[in-house]
């Protein structure tokens, strides 16, 4: 399915914008409580998920990689353990509480015990531990561990506002950060070997954020500035004394509703600037993007473009579990997504997303292009329970095959093409329950 066809289908949905789509100012939703909020409000989120990747074991690899023939690449296995192409797991299992300590101070605490990149090395880990201080007009202060103010897809509440099982390629590869440690050079001088130093940060970090929102008639303007560690969230302390600065601005035309049930049209931009200690040197890690969202009536439409500069992680190299992780320290990548949904019945919604990602664009030998079209169907059994089905048509291309040598005994080009052509489509069925 081409992007042109997706645009036509999304545009066809827009006349149906009538009465049920949702949006939010997530800075407010996650950071603040309503005036009548209690001291203690328990929370629980469960997302049992079954994923099936329609792929065959790779074949046709030559030279030293020939020993991997008959195995599945990591892209055709289920994260975070990359063991099987078909698997049932509790993708998310979260328990926590939030509330007001005083009229000016509120808190939020949440632990993660599901099977996802955040818990790859620990069974249970805090995902949110924060206090918000609402003393200064125009400058609320939130401190602790919580989500960074970046792309909209990375900020939404997955239990009641995220429409898909898996994130778009660009968000998955650029914002779900995997802390790594240098382990040595590779035969490719543009890449280095590394190993995972901890579970993924998954959009979170320890830090201090100043933020607020301002209403001007039917418009709302919000900002956030966060200074954070830029390291492993398993450790409260900063591991390398390099801080990240993340900024976000948003303007919203509010149509009605409040909290996570608000309907609006918003545009936003953001930038994250920091460095990572890798080997004996510090390297840039810059992420930035802009996007929009429209939620009105029974329809939803949103899109985003984001890019990365500096440290980019390509995955296992060779692309099979147990191998080192390939890292480019002076690389670039960019991607986008366009998605929409239509609640065609009070208990049924259809969703469609097209996304693309260009990885490692500075060195043609490393460049790969990922594109995915996701068709989703959601059934809302009750206000707190839904069932989601996603089918993803996934494609990988070697962007510049002629830049890759293909001489014996390595056969690098032939192997790269065989691995790219082996990527399988992915289907998932997920139940979401929250309290």
- Write the DSSP string, 161-203: T---SS--HHHHHHTS---EEEEEE-SSTT-EEEEE-SS--TT
Give the Cα separation of 292 and 337 in Å (integer). Answer: 11
With 0-12 / 13-18 / 19 or more C-beta atoms within 10 angstroms meaning exposed / middle / buried, residue 119 is buried
d(CA 68, CA 200): 27
Which pLDDT tens digits describe the chain residue by residue (435 residues)? 444 444 444 444 433 333 344 458 999 999 999 999 999 999 999 999 999 999 999 999 999 999 999 999 999 999 999 999 999 999 999 999 999 999 999 999 999 999 999 999 999 999 999 999 999 999 999 999 999 999 999 999 998 899 999 999 999 999 999 999 999 999 899 999 999 999 999 999 999 999 999 999 999 999 999 999 998 999 888 878 899 999 999 999 999 988 777 999 999 999 999 999 999 999 999 999 999 999 999 999 999 999 999 999 999 999 999 999 999 999 999 999 999 999 999 999 999 999 999 999 999 999 999 999 999 999 999 999 999 999 999 999 999 999 999 999 899 999 999 999 999 999 999 999 999
What are the tokens at 316? 């296992």
Report the alpha-carbon distance of residue 181 to residue 280 in Å, rounded: 11
Secondary structure letter of residue 262 according to DSSP: B
- Of 203, 288, 291, 303, the closest CA to residue 251 belongs to 291
Cα gap 277→283, rounded to integer Å? 6
Helix (H) or strand (E) holding 215: strand 204-216
SS3 246: strand
Residue 63 buriedness (CB in 10 A; 0-12 / 13-18 / 19+): middle
Q: What global pTM score does this model have?
A: 0.92
C-alpha–C-alpha distance, residues 227 and 407, integer Å: 49
> What domains lie within the chain, and their CATH numbers?
3-434 (2.40.160.10)
Burial class (CB in 10 A: 0-12, 13-18, 19+), 45: buried
Q: In this structure, are residues 365 and 190 in contact, taking their beta carbons and an 8 Å threshold?
A: yes
C-beta separation of 287 from 271 below 8 A: yes
CB 202 within 8 A of CB 178: no
What is the spatial distance between Cα 299 and Cα 330, in angstroms, rounded to a whole number?
Answer: 41
């Amino acid at each position: 399915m081409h992007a042109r066809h997706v645009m036509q289908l999304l545009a066809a949905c827009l006349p149906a914008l009538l009465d049920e789509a949702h949006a939010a100012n997530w800075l407010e939703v996650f950071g603040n409580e309503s005036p009548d909020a209690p001291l203690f409000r328990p929370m629980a989120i469960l997302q049992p998920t079954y994923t099936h990747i329609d792929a065959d074991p790779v074949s046709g690899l030559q030279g030293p990689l020939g020993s991997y023939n008959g195995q599945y690449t990591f892209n055709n296995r289920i994260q975070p353990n990359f063991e099987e192409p078909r698997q049932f797991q509790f993708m998310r299992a979260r328990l926590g509480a939030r509330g007001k300590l005083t009229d000016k101070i509120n808190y939020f605490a949440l632990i993660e015990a599901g099977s996802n990149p955040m818990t790859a090395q620990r069974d249970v880990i805090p995902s949110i531990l924060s206090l918000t201080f609402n003393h200064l007009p125009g400058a609320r202060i939130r401190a602790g561990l919580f989500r960074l103010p970046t792309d909209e897809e990375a900020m939404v509440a997955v239990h009641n506002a995220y429409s898909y099982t898996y994130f778009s390629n660009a968000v998955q590869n650029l914002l779900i950060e995997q802390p790594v440690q240098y382990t040595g050079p590779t035969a490719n001088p543009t890449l280095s070997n590394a190993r995972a130093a901890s579970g993924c940060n998954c959009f979170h970090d320890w830090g201090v954020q100043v933020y607020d929102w301002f209403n001007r008639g039917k418009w709302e303007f919000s900002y956030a500035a966060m200074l954070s560690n830029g390291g492993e969230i398993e450790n409260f302390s900063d591991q390398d004394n390099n801080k990240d600065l993340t900024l976000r601005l948003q303007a919203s035309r509010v149509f009605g509703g409040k909290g996570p049930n608000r309907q609006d049209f918003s545009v936003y931009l953001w930038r994250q600037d920091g460095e990572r200690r890798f080997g004996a040197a510090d390297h840039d890690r810059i992420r930035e993007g802009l996007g929009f969202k429209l939620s009105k009536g029974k329809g939803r439409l949103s899109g985003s473009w984001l890019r990365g500069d500096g440290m980019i992680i390509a995955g296992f190299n060779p692309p099979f579990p147990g191998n080192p992780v390939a890292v480019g320290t002076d690389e670039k990548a960019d991607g986008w997504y366009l998605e929409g949904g239509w609640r065609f019945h009070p208990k049924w919604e259809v969703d469609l997303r097209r996304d693309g990602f260009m990885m490692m664009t500075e060195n043609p030998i490393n460049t790969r292009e990922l594109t995915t079209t996701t068709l989703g169907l959601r059934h809302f059994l009750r206000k707190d329970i839904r069932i989601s089905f996603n089918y993803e048509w996934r494609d990988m291309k070697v962007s510049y095959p002629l830049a890759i040598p293909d001489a014996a005994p390595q056969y690098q080009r032939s192997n790269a093409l065989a691995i790219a052509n082996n990527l399988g489509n992915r289907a998932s069925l997920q139940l979401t329950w929250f309290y």
